[in-house]
Structures are given as C-alpha cells and as structure tokens.
Amino acid sequence: MSVATQQFEGVFDADVNHSSFEAGTRHMGVGSFRTRFEDVQARLTGQDGALRLEGRTKVESISIRNPPEFREHVVNGADFFDAANFPEIAFSSSDISLHGDGLLELTGELTIRGVTRELTVPGTYREPQDDPYGGSRAAFDLRATIDRRDFGLNWQAQLPKGGNVLEWDVEIAVQLEFVREVTTPADSAASANH
C-alpha cells in the first residue's frame, strides 16, 4: 500500500458546489462545443489500501437551456441521451492506482444510455489536507476521450463540403473535490458492535 493511498483511508463525498463534469467536442468543423452537467455526485472510499470511486450525474442537469427544442432533443431524443429511459450517467471504478508524483490511473465502467463500457482514465490527485472548518479535503482531476457512438449517441449531419457537424469523439473532464466524512466516537462504537 502506497503512502498516497494511506492518506485516502475513509469515506470522501464530493463537494457538489466545487465539483464539475464537462463534455466537449468539435462543432461545425470549427468550434469547440462544451457543456456541463450540474448535478455531480461522487463518493471515494478507501479501505485496507484499496480505493473505489462511484459517481453519477443526472442527464437533465445538462447546462444546455436554449433554445428549448434543442435542449429537448439533446436530453430526450432517441439519438441523444433519451433521459426518460436513461436518466443518469454513472461510473464505477474497479481499480485506482495513485503514483507518488501526483498522477493517477483509474479503471472502471462508464454507463450512458444503459450501455456500459470499460474505461481507463488518467488524471491527477491532491492528497487530503485540513480545511478551516474542521474537515479534510482532497481532489481528483480526470480526463478521457470516448466515441459517443459506443453509447448509442448516434445523431449526425454532414457539412456542405464534407465532414461532420458534431464529431464522434467527446472529451470528458471531471473535477472532484472531496470532503472526508467525520466519524464521531459514537459512530465508531456503533460500527464495532455490528
């Protein structure tokens, strides 16, 4: 067990106000379109030297608001997220490796539209440190590129001189700021009796 992993013993919940999930892709062959999911929930658990990350976001929390018909197509369209049938995007890790240089590698399963694919994600981490409010905070920054067709996000149109209106590759950037759960002596005694 590495020293870095030891620092993450316990349960850390994402601070929703200081965490983000963004996705971006090339648009019309020239622009870089980015959107944000505003409801980010994640929990990092460290136990016996092993780390596990569980995270999810609600599709309806996507930052696209106008025009309403565009939002409706992206959120509920059968060739986009189809949120009525698949309301969440979820991730569950199977392995997290922390390296002494602040780099990490995370392997797990990403689920979009009910389709689950294994994904290995590089990133960085910052070890827990005390905040001024009696808590302990840490962070993961993760970046990955997926092919949206792998998850059934198949909408496409062609540009007049060739090329795609919306590229297939989507860059995902997730920033998670965690707060360690505080256990009281009563909590410890209760868990020891179970």
Residue 92 bridge partners (DSSP): 54, 109
Taking only the tens place, the pLDDT of each residue in 35-66 is 999 999 999 999 888 999 999 999 999 999 99
- How is the chain split into domains, by residue range? 3-192
Written out in words, the top-level CATH class of the domain with range 3-192 is mainly beta
| Beta carbons of 53 and 97 less than 8 angstroms apart | no
Reference 10, options 125, 108, 138; nearest CA is 138
The burial class, CB within 10 Å (0-12 / 13-18 / 19+), for 153 is buried
CA distances from residue 146 to 100, 150, 170 in whole angstroms, order as listed = 27, 8, 5
Measured between alpha carbons, how far is residue 34 from residues 19, 37, 40, 103, 140 in Å? Answer: 16, 10, 16, 25, 20
Low pLDDT (below 70) residues in the chain? 1-5, 183-194
pLDDT at 135: 85
- What is the structure's pLDDT at 4? 67
User: Residue 194 has what pLDDT?
Assistant: 44
CA dist., res. 43 & res. 97, Å (int):
16
Question: Each residue of 87-101: pLDDT tens digit?
Answer: 999 999 999 999 988
Q: Cα dist. 177→89, 96, 140, 159 in Å?
A: 19, 17, 7, 40
β-partners of residue 12 are 44, 180
Task: Render the burial of 95-130: b for 16+ CB within 10 Å, e for the rest.
Answer: ebebeeeeebebebebbbbeeeeebebebebebbee
By percentage, how much of the chain surpasses pLDDT 90? 76
* Stated pTM of the model: 0.85
**Residue 51 CB burial class (10 angstroms; 0-12, 13-18, ≥19):** buried
